[in-house]
Structure 1
Amino acid sequence: MLKITDLVKRYGGGDPVLKNLDLTIEGESVVSIIGSSGAGKSTLLRCINRLVEPTSGSIELNGTELTKLRGRNLRAARRKIGMVFQGFNLVDRLTVMENVQSGRLGYISTWAAIMRRYPKEDIRRAYELMERVGIAHYANTRADQLSGGERQRVGVVRALMQNPEILLADEPTASLDPKTSEQIMGLLRDLAGELKLPVLINIHNVTEAKEYTDRIVGMRYGRIIFDDKPASLDQEAMDRIYSGSPHADRSEDLRQAS
């Protein structure tokens, strides 16, 4: 279970990007986060895996308080959090297998990684996952020779090689054509069920969010203002998520403080 309590992220002396945010995700649910640019969606995901340091608040994953971890303990906790990136974040000159095995870097020695001497069990698992997502035949192909959809499938397998307890996806379909986007969203949904894995997806495409996820969280200016099943996301909710203004949000801050 992921439990976020009273999370705040502030850069410098400006207004907080995340404002006392609470969110709980359990089981194998697929949860999408929607909202306009600047709502805080990507910052939220990056606070969870500590790519961005929270200003205050609590982020707990299966009983481990992530915000208090440092050094070796933080690195160990990050192994449990898989991340799929919008820009794929692959090493183009490496093969698909080598990119996939980078998901195991936290588990093998530096020498083994440099020499590319991967454990047999890791190779077996990589082929199993690549076969599942349809890229096993590209195992020895350089990453820069793949299409966008194929590259994103490599990113998904790399994240799953960590044996994560939760999978985060930051705009995983933004760089893809509509058909490939639907394939990737369907893949994430199916893998969540097969692997009993909670998935949290930051996404701009509301249609895909409604079709492929179990729950939608709507954010506006650092706050969650909608949290319900896709069927409940009506026009009124959409207007609240996408038609608000920073000025109105500051007024809400003042009312809460008074």
Structure 2
Amino acid sequence: MLRIKELVKRYGEEKAVLKNLNLEVPGESVVSIIGASGAGKSTLLRCINRLVEPSSGSIELNGTELTKLEGKALRLARRRIGMVFQGFNLIDRLTVMENVQSGRLGYLPAWRAVTRNYPQEDIDRAFHLMERVGIAHYANKRADELSGGERQRVGVVRALMQEPEILLADEPTASLDPKTSRQIMELLRALASELHLPVLINIHNVNEAKEYTQRIVGMRFGRIIFDGEPTDLNNDAMDEIYAGVPAEERGGAESSTHLREVAAR
């Protein structure tokens, strides 16, 4: 269970990017976060894994208060938080297997990491996960030789190698074509069920959020203004979340105003 209470993030004296935000994500749920650029979606995810330091508030993962941790305790906690990035964040000159094994660095002594002397059980787990997502045959191929969808699958496996208690995905389909995007979203949904993982996805494509996630959180100006099932995300809610944003920039969803205009033609 991820439990966030009164989370605030501000940069210097500027207005807060996150404003007293409250959110709970239970196990095995797939939750998407939608909103216009600048809503605070990516900042929220980065506060959870402490890539960005919260200004105040509480972030608790399965009973551990993450905002209080420092040093070794923080490093150990980060092992429990898997992260899938929009830009893949792979090391291009390394093989798929080597990139995947980087997800185990938090568990290995330094000499194993430097010499790339991975335990057999980690190699076996990597092959199992790569087989599951369809990239096992690329194990010895360099990362820069893969397509975007294949690279993102490597990123997913790398995150799962951490044996995380939650999986965060920051715009995981933004760099992919529509067909590959659907495949990645389907994969994340299936893995959440198979591995009993809560998955929190920051996503631009509202249609994908409605199709592949069980719950949608809508953000605007650092606040949550919608939290419900995909069927509850009606046109009025969309207009509130994306107020002032043209329909064509809403990630595939149209405003009620636009729909009424179409109906009147």
Same fold (TM > 0.5): yes
TM-score by length of 2: 0.92
Answer whether contact 1:215 1:228 (CA < 8 A) is retained: yes
Answer whether contact 1:21 1:223 (CA < 8 A) is retained: yes
* 2:82 equivalent to 1:82: yes
Counterparts of 1:241 and 1:29 in 2: how far apart (Å)? 22
The secondary structure found in structure 2 opposite 1:53 is coil
The secondary structure found in structure 2 opposite 1:106 is helix
Instruction: State the shift of 1:244 in Å.
Output: 5.8
Counterparts of 2:63 and 2:153 in 1: how far apart (Å)? 30
Residue of structure 2 equivalent to 1:196 = 196
Residue of structure 1 equivalent to 2:136 = 136
The secondary structure found in structure 2 opposite 1:19 is strand
Amino acid at match of 1:64: T
Instruction: State the shift of 1:71 in Å.
Output: 0.1
Residue of structure 2 equivalent to 1:33 = 33
Residue of structure 2 equivalent to 1:224 = 224
Give ranges in structure 1 of 5+ residues lacking alignment. Answer: 246-258
Instruction: State the shift of 1:168 in Å.
Output: 0.1
Residue of structure 1 equivalent to 2:64 = 64
Deviations 1:80-105 (A, max 9, x none): 00000000000000000000000000
Moved more, 107-116 or 221-230: 107-116
The secondary structure found in structure 1 opposite 2:107 is coil
Stretches (4+) displaced over 3 A: none
* 2:158 equivalent to 1:151: no
Amino acid at match of 2:231: A
Amino acid at match of 1:190: A
Instruction: State the shift of 1:164 in Å.
Output: 0.1
Counterparts of 1:195 and 1:106 in 2: how far apart (Å)? 20
TM-score by length of 1: 0.94
Residue of structure 2 equivalent to 1:212 = 212
Counterparts of 1:128 and 1:149 in 2: how far apart (Å)? 19
Give the % identical residues. Answer: 79
**Over aligned residue pairs, what C-alpha RMSD do you find?**
0.7
Deviations 1:198-234 (A, max 9, x none): 0000000000000000000000000000000000000
Q: How many residues align?
A: 245
Residue of structure 2 equivalent to 1:160 = 160
Answer whether contact 1:220 1:244 (CA < 8 A) is retained: no
Counterparts of 1:220 and 1:21 in 2: how far apart (Å)? 11
Instruction: State the shift of 1:27 in Å.
Output: 1.5
Counterparts of 1:244 and 1:227 in 2: how far apart (Å)? 20
